[in-house]
Amino acid sequence: MIKQEHIEYWLNTSNDDFEVFNVLYENKNYLHALFIAHLSIEKLIIIN
């Protein structure tokens, strides 16, 4: 994998996690929503 492919991978998985976060949050599953949000943010930090 080249650098750009790694960046796209982490962006895509972060976006997927954020979608899961939204579903969990809307269903008032706050503990798990917070955990998934944390994962999503970590993935964005990795690529910067």
Task: Give me the pLDDT at residue 22, please.
Answer: 98
In whole angstroms, give the CA distance from residue 26 to residue 7: 29
1 pLDDT exceeds 90? Answer: no
pTM here is: 0.86
pLDDT in tens, 5-41: 999 999 999 999 999 999 999 999 999 999 999 999 9
pLDDT in tens, 21-31: 999 999 999 99
Task: Give me the pLDDT at residue 35, please.
Answer: 98
CA-CA distances (angstroms) from residue 12 to 20, 23, 28? 13, 17, 25
